[in-house]
Structure 1
Amino acid sequence: MTRVTVNEPAIQEIDWHKVPREVACSRPDWFAAWVTRDDPPALQYQVFEHIAYIANIVTRAIRKGKGRLIINLPPQHGKSLFLCRWLVVWILEHWPDLRIVSASYSKDLIYGHSSFARDQFDQRQELNTSLKHDNKAVGRWNTHTGLGGLYSTTIGGAISGFSMDVGLVDDPYKDWADAWSPATRRKVKQWFDSAFYTRKQENTTMIILHTRWHPDDLSGYLLKDHPDDWQLIRLPAIAEQGDPMRRYIGSPLCPQLHTLESLMGNKQSQGIWDAVYQQDPKGLGDDALYKHFSETRNVSDTVLLNYDLPLHISIDFNKRPGSHMLIGQYDKDADMITTVDEIYGDRWDTIQIMRDFTDRWWPQNCKHKSFSEINVFGDSAGRSESIYTSDSGYRIMQRVLQPLGVPVYKRVPKKAPDIIDSVLATNDALSDINGQVHWLIHPRCKKLIRDLREVMPDEYGKPDKDADFTLTHASDAERYRVHRIRPLRINEPSGRVNV
């Protein structure tokens, strides 16, 4: 493929002092660069190639009217600075009678955009548009004509008494958890349909811009279910086949802001990478919860006990259908988790499952060799005392294991990990972003294998515990262990996703 740059192949080398005003003001990206040409270098607007591509489309939509644009970009690529700040200034400089509504999940965020645009008209003498002096509040201000201006609100906020010629929605969700909440997604859709969309006029152009988080987020809803014909501008962080900007496959969207190396440093979880960076949210809810599980890759009868490593026991305390125990190890040098056996009995309680371990499993496997220590993993709920015995599950385990003469260490967090976090960590152990396997399971662990193959997500992206009560228990036990051993840590945008 021949690489084609957008419009001006050397646009960042332009001396904006030599560009006539009427040329620079013909489109918002050039306008921003021209207006800031005498600002300190750090404040001068830079027109990156992907911004120029977006500006072409946005300029046509604003001039023509009736536009419906969805712009999906990875985080920290300048979308808000351009579309929620400089685009607003450019529009009102050209058409001071136009009314703009701008919305976001955060009041601080949207008021920051509003203050920026307002200050340009207040402080830059070269601009023709000025502010109406008696109406300059940060949330709602008017131009000198008294007709046009900007109304800023939050998602869910009222927009009463203010019709719009241009509507902007920037970041309708706070973070990953917000976008994965069905209640929040419903709230965003209802607000869009009942409040935001109803303020449109005959020629209103609407621009929705946000990083993708979920298949059914606002972008997904508008593309699949909304009656209007929405144009999608999807620019992934790393170019794929058929890239709209005709980039080479594998090239970064904006190397001046994020090099290929820095982007690849975030490429640890496939689900997050696809959604947040590639703008293609396949999501946790599209198929089996543990979508990285493969019996070909993860199940092997060559998995053996290594008596030089600590023995791991993970347990899920449950009365119906019964408690589940998984037995395995972790080789830190090889970064490999193993599960070699499982113990389960119908409606077995903690004492029954522990007696089976000490009376049957231990003598069978430790007749000639033993382990230096036993590490116990599980849900923090196991700390709770039984209303019948005043014993916690872990206290029972400690008492039953004591006669073995091996040190026992409890590797249980005081607070249960976030379920989505632990699911992502489990999928990463099954197969990471590079296809490397970090978890091998012996085929005798039939309940665990069935779980990993069949457990489906609920609407929150968590294990669906209502579909089949016999599922999730074995995988829950190991999910606690996997997350405790190798939690997934990702350098996510703005610190808003902490996995």
Structure 2
Amino acid sequence: MNRNERVRYMYALKERLVRESRTDLLRFTLSTMPTFEPADFHRRYYGVLTKFAHREIKKLMVFMPPQHGKSEGSTRRLPSFILGERPDTRVAIVSYNAPKARKFNREIQRIIDTPEYQEIFPETCLNSSNVTTVAGSWLRNADECEIVGHLGGFKTVGVGGALTGEPVDVLIMDDIYKDAKTAWSATVRESVSDWYDTVAETRLHNKSQQLIVFTRWHEDDLAGTLLRQQGEYHPTENPNGWVVVIYQAIKQGSPTEYDPRQEGEALWDERHNIEKLEAIRKRNPHVFDSLYQQDPKPSEGLMYDIGFTEYQTRPATKYCIRKAYVDTADTGADYLCAIVYDETEIGNYLVDVLYTQKPMEYTEPELARILTKHGVQECVVESNNGGRGFQRAVERQCRLIGNAKTKFKWFHQKDNKEVRINVNSAAVQNLTFMPFGWVKLFPEFASAINGYMKIGKNPHDDAPDALTGTIEKRKNKVKSDVAGLFGR
């Protein structure tokens, strides 16, 4: 390739990149921010934001842990990109206070002023001078900027501020709670909801778009309130609902369209690895679930609010039998929960857990392997909804791999699950001893236990149900008068 050919090639390549930057937010960001090195989840996140920019999504919520780059995409690059594609669009950006909102304003101005941006979107530009009043000119100040020659522009405002004037086509709300203290304040949460109802929502019209992006602190934050009122999007059943995208710091559950990670993988391992995240989780599991896993639960409403004592070595006892309690999945959305534990006169010492939504093709041989590995003497299986057949299949698997030790029992659970969990909650906490580091050993099980609420709808109750069963099945001969046990 001679020099002229190389020049033509480079020119064609640049033209292609410019064209791609006009239609794809990630390519636009790479062109206007050369230092950006997107991780895999950034590519998917920016893909969702591109759909929003192209008006394929009307109402979007994105929940992400702190320091993972959510605002760069949602609140700096996205409005700049939208105004490039559609310079007549009126964008409003809201944050927890005016100084924070004005910082976003300055950053968007800088993006639009760059030569790279002007090459991509030459029709979108700001007044070259700082203009604070209309006076026949295009506004450009710390609170509002207008696109020269067009109807569009962007306003930035703190929660509680005014959104007077023209209607809003795109409303972006980023970090509307400053920190945990404000998010956990009922007064602040109420004021945010009132401001949204009386100010922000009144500026919207039938075709307006809304984007809420922040880290979840509390189940009754604005996102939680709107989801309870309006629900999640479904193309036929709830077309006016919210598209919800959740990025957990440590993946729990099955892969999804927006987050195809395997369970246990860190979201941005290069910046926040598993070791760092687990250390944070260990310091405060409740805060970690809210802030990093986007699963907010108020501690005052938790079922197991006392917590569990951890053990490293089980103490010598007069009585000990290794048992397993199995609660099979009732439906495809439920979890199978199998708990292996040592029953003693002091209490139950949890040894291992199988907690999964995987099908029977996986759970039957896996449970047989676990029972055999731990030398389980007695396995109790709830017979409800196919439990009897599951028990027979697991027993057959055990015998095939040489386990003749485990004795299987089945029973029909006729009592109300919610009542059982509530009535036995104190005994469960007082008589259950968790292995040291159990939150890390069994993260999804631990989240289901530590996040289970006394009042309100819980997404899953399989783990608390099985843990309750281990207490209900304690033998009568187990010593009940244990000094100090109920005083901790």
Q: TM-score over 0.5 for the alignment?
A: yes
Q: Secondary structure at the match of 1:243?
A: coil
**Whole-Å Cα distance in 2 between the matches of residues 251 and 238 of structure 1?**
6
**Whole-Å Cα distance in 2 between the matches of residues 136 and 150 of structure 1?**
10
**Whole-Å Cα distance in 2 between the matches of residues 435 and 119 of structure 1?**
48
Which of 13, 17, 27 does residue 24 from structure 2 map onto? 27
8 Å contact kept, 1:30–1:47: no
Q: Which runs of 4+ in 1 moved over 3 A?
A: 16-19, 430-433
**Whole-Å Cα distance in 2 between the matches of residues 135 and 431 of structure 1?**
62
Aligned to 1:101: 92
Give matches, 1:239-250, under 5 Å. 239-244=251-256, 245-250=259-264
**Whole-Å Cα distance in 2 between the matches of residues 230 and 200 of structure 1?**
16
Which of 241, 250, 257 does residue 271 from structure 2 map onto? 257
**Whole-Å Cα distance in 2 between the matches of residues 214 and 102 of structure 1?**
22
Q: 1:18 to 1:236 in 2, by over 3 A?
A: farther
Q: 1:433 to 1:114 in 2, by over 3 A?
A: farther
Shift of 1:194: 1.5
Deviations 1:139-183 (A, max 9, x none): 101011241111000111111113111110001111111111111
Q: Secondary structure at the match of 1:266?
A: helix
Q: 1:176 to 1:36 in 2, by over 3 A?
A: closer
Q: 1:88 to 1:433 in 2, by over 3 A?
A: farther
Q: Secondary structure at the match of 1:132?
A: coil
**Whole-Å Cα distance in 1 between the matches of residues 291 and 204 of structure 2?**
30
**Whole-Å Cα distance in 2 between the matches of residues 208 and 272 of structure 1?**
21
Shift of 1:18: 8.2
Letter in 1 for 2:39: F
Q: Secondary structure at the match of 1:242?
A: coil
Letter in 2 for 1:188: V
Letter in 2 for 1:118: Q
8 Å contact kept, 1:292–1:431: no
TM-score (norm 2): 0.55
Letter in 2 for 1:175: D
Give matches, 1:347-358, under 5 Å. none
Q: Secondary structure at the match of 1:159?
A: coil
8 Å contact kept, 2:32–2:111: no
Give matches, 1:98-497, under 5 Å. 98-124=89-115, 125-126=118-119, 127-128=121-122, 129-133=124-128, 134-226=138-230, 228-244=240-256, 245-268=259-282, 269-288=284-303, 290-293=305-308, 434-435=437-438
Shift of 1:257: 2.2
Shift of 1:107: 2.0
Shift of 1:66: 6.1
Shift of 1:123: 3.3
Q: 1:176 to 1:289 in 2, by over 3 A?
A: farther
**Whole-Å Cα distance in 1 between the matches of residues 189 and 155 of structure 2?**
23
**Whole-Å Cα distance in 2 between the matches of residues 184 and 84 of structure 1?**
23
More helix, by proportion: 2
8 Å contact kept, 1:80–1:170: yes
**Whole-Å Cα distance in 2 between the matches of residues 270 and 166 of structure 1?**
36
Deviates more, 1:149-158 or 1:138-147: 138-147
**Whole-Å Cα distance in 2 between the matches of residues 80 and 433 of structure 1?**
37
**Whole-Å Cα distance in 1 between the matches of residues 40 and 94 of structure 2?**
26
**Whole-Å Cα distance in 1 between the matches of residues 57 and 251 of structure 2?**
30
Aligned to 1:315: none
Shift of 1:93: 0.9
* Larger RCO (CA within 8 A; separation ≥ 6): 1
Aligned to 2:360: none
Shift of 1:433: 8.5
Deviations 1:167-212 (A, max 9, x none): 1000111111111111111111111121111211222110001101
Shift of 1:20: 2.6
Q: Structure 2: any 5+ residue segments left out of the alignment? A: 1-12, 129-137, 232-239, 317-429, 440-453, 456-487
Q: Secondary structure at the match of 2:67?
A: coil
8 Å contact kept, 1:17–1:34: no
Q: State the aligned residue count.
A: 296
**Whole-Å Cα distance in 2 between the matches of residues 231 and 95 of structure 1?**
22
Letter in 1 for 2:263: I
**Whole-Å Cα distance in 2 between the matches of residues 66 and 163 of structure 1?**
19
Q: Secondary structure at the match of 2:102?
A: helix
8 Å contact kept, 2:100–2:158: no
Deviates more, 1:215-224 or 1:53-62: 53-62
8 Å contact kept, 2:254–2:262: no
**Whole-Å Cα distance in 2 between the matches of residues 433 and 26 of structure 1?**
51
Letter in 2 for 1:49: D
Letter in 2 for 1:230: W
8 Å contact kept, 1:101–1:167: yes
Q: Secondary structure at the match of 1:162?
A: coil
Shift of 1:88: 1.1
Q: Secondary structure at the match of 2:71?
A: helix
Q: Secondary structure at the match of 1:64?
A: coil
8 Å contact kept, 1:131–1:141: yes
**Whole-Å Cα distance in 2 between the matches of residues 199 and 283 of structure 1?**
32
**Whole-Å Cα distance in 2 between the matches of residues 118 and 229 of structure 1?**
32
Aligned to 1:41: none
8 Å contact kept, 1:171–1:211: yes
8 Å contact kept, 1:270–1:433: no
Which of 66, 90, 96 does residue 81 from structure 2 map onto? 90
- RMSD over aligned CA atoms reads 3.4
Aligned to 1:447: none
8 Å contact kept, 1:267–1:433: no
**Whole-Å Cα distance in 1 between the matches of residues 86 and 187 of structure 2?**
38
Q: Structure 1: any 5+ residue segments left out of the alignment? A: 1-15, 38-43, 303-426, 437-455, 458-481, 483-499
Shift of 1:432: 10
Q: 1:56 to 1:433 in 2, by over 3 A?
A: farther
Q: Secondary structure at the match of 1:169?
A: strand
